[in-house]
Amino acid sequence: MTETHAEVGIIGGSGLYELAELENAETVEVETPFGSPSDALVVGRLSGRSVAFVPRHGRGHRLTPTEIPVRANIWALKALGVRQVISISAVGSLREEYRPGSLVVPDQIVDWTKSGRPKSFFEDGIVVHTSVADPYCGRLREELMAAAHSATDTTIHDSGTYICIEGPQFSTRAESELYRFLKMDIIGMTAVPEAKLAREAELCYSALALVTDYDCWRSDEQAVEADLVTAVMARNADAAKRTIVRLVEKLPADAACECQDALAHAIITDRAAVPPSVRERLDLLIGRHLNA
């Protein structure tokens, strides 16, 4: 287990594979009960705070959305001591007004994944039903919006429902129309299970989504392609990075938040029935609840 400590975690998405702003950066390999994270984490100083960065698709973008070891990524951040996580993502827009180039701080998620991605840390003898009614931390969302407003002049949408598809293919036109009919605002492939697992790990978690395209619902525009996403990300990555720097500068170190006690009423299994091996394996997440 590593001795390195970090307070804030940043998960980088498509087009954001490193955070050069981190000073005195150190590469940290973290092993977890759920295998290795997407890549080595980089821990360094940002605005005087200790920050850990992990690129969710790995450096060189090697992992499909389905292959991302999300449990290992979240576990690794928790193991470093992180309590607040910002996720950066490229998203398509399902609404005229969410224009490419704008930023969104989503407030809801619809899970449209199909492959059976592992969505919980808890299994094999322990059952935990965690509330994800509000899947993003409300307090961290406010801080993130304030930081985005003060760090960029880009349009910022202060809410939005993110529909998470399986991928790796983009949607058909009929699917894109269906999601619009369902009143979804933005579309991507990675919010699930990341947000849900962050809640299970009792981390404050919020996302900064960069709109890169209009998916394929507009007849007057070319349908989204990966090259378009990375080109638009390259143009807007600076706004995202400036927002992160400003956010970290302002983030309270000891913010009390209900996310950090999310399992208080969630563990349904009789404490005496939890197998010792499971207690031991998941101690980082549930030790304080089982031993209370």
Ligand X SMILES: CSC[C@H]1O[C@H](OP(=O)(O)O)[C@H](O)[C@@H]1O
Ligand Y SMILES: Nc1ncnc2[nH]cnc12
Q: Which residues bind ligand X (CB under 6 A)?
A: 13-14, 56-57, 65, 89-90, 167, 188-190, 226, 229
Residue 74 amino acid letter: I
Q: If contact means CB under 5 to 8 A according to the sort of partner, which of ligand X, ligand Y, none does residue 213 touch?
A: ligand Y
CB of 217 to ligand X, least distance (A): 16
Tell whether residue 189 is a contact of ligand Y (CB under 6 A): yes
CA dihedral (106, 108, 111, 112) positive or negative: negative
Q: If contact means CB under 5 to 8 A according to the sort of partner, which of ligand Y, ligand X, none does residue 273 touch?
A: none
Rounded CA separation 201/216 (Å): 35
Q: If contact means CB under 5 to 8 A according to the sort of partner, which of ligand X, ligand Y, none does residue 56 touch?
A: ligand X
Tell whether residue 91 is a contact of ligand Y (CB under 6 A): yes
Among 191, 215, 248, 285, binds ligand Y (CB under 6 A): 215
CA dihedral (226, 231, 233, 237) positive or negative: positive
CB of 30 to ligand Y, least distance (A): 27
How many degrees, rounded to 5, is the angle at CA 97 between CA 92 and CA 98?
30
Among 87, 212, 236, 243, binds ligand Y (CB under 6 A): 212
Among 16, 68, 144, 187, binds ligand Y (CB under 6 A): 187
Among 175, 200, 202, 213, binds ligand Y (CB under 6 A): 213
Q: If contact means CB under 5 to 8 A according to the sort of partner, which of ligand X, ligand Y, none does residue 197 touch?
A: none
Rounded CA separation 37/131 (Å): 25
Which residue is nearest to ligand X, using beta carbons? Answer: 13
CB of 243 to ligand X, least distance (A): 15
Angle between helix 191-200 and 70-79 (nearest 10): 40
Angle between helix 226-250 and 138-151 (nearest 10): 100
Which residue is nearest to ligand Y, using beta carbons? Answer: 92
Q: Phi and psi for 151 in degrees, rounded to 5? A: -100, -15
Was 213 annotated as part of a binding site?
Answer: yes
Rounded CA separation 93/247 (Å): 25
Rounded CA separation 194/135 (Å): 10
Helices (H), the chain: 70-79, 138-151, 173-181, 191-200, 226-250, 276-281, 283-290
Catalytic residues: 213, 215
CB of 116 to ligand X, least distance (A): 18
> By rule CB under 6 A, what count of residues binds ligand Y?
12
Please, which residues bridge with residue 52 across strands? Answer: 9, 43
Q: Which residues are annotated as a binding site?
A: 14, 56-57, 89-90, 189-190, 213-215
Q: Which residues are annotated as a binding site for phosphate?
A: 14, 56-57, 89-90, 190
Residues that bind ligand Y (CB under 6 A): 90-92, 170, 187-189, 212-213, 215, 224, 229
